């Protein structure tokens, strides 16, 4: 099976483990550490990039209004694939809410939610090197 993209969890080995073991329930997985050099990056944590993507989707929604199924939200994969078909980027960086992550505080809940940052790499040439993390490190 050929994959079109690689997902990396930025500086959070435990989210990578959680995603493999619990979210996807993979039986056989490893955690790798990678050196990635992405030049053409869409960084959705930055207002400028987020606003450009948002504006682009407004235009697409207006242009293809009858073709869009408004009863469901686009998945991240669908969104990233549409962006790639328009502008072949090297990677997208974005934050995501951790499913079942809750908020800080048990007795008095806060508005601070658990999130993680992922980098979706489309251009595999941007992955300079990688190595498996020793299981003793996690």
Kindly list the domain boundaries of the chain, sorted by start residue.
6-137
Distance CA(2)–CA(35), nearest Å, equals: 21
pTM: 0.78
pLDDT score of 1 more than 50: no
Structure tokens at 75: 């998945």
For the ranges 39-43, 63-67, 103-107, the lowest mean pLDDT is seen at: 63-67
Per-residue pLDDT of 26-62, as tens digits, reads 888 888 899 999 999 999 999 999 999 999 888 877 7
Structure tokens at 62: 């207006």
Structure tokens at 57: 């989707």
């Amino acid at each position: 099976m050929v994959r079109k993209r690689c997902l990396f969890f930025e500086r959070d080995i435990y989210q990578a483990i959680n995603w493999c073991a619990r979210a996807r329930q993979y039986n056989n997985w490893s955690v790798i550490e990678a050196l990635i050099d992405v030049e053409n990056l869409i960084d959705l944590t930055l207002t400028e990039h987020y606003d450009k993507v948002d504006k682009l989707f407004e235009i697409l929604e207006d242009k293809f209004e009858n073709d869009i199924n408004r009863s469901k939200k686009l998945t991240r994969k669908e969104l990233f694939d549409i962006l790639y078909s328009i502008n072949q980027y090297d990677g997208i960086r974005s934050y995501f809410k951790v499913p079942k992550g809750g908020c800080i505080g048990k007795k008095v809940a806060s508005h601070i939610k658990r999130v993680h940052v992922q980098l979706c790499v489309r251009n595999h040439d941007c992955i300079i090197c990688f190595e498996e993390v020793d299981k003793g490190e996690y």
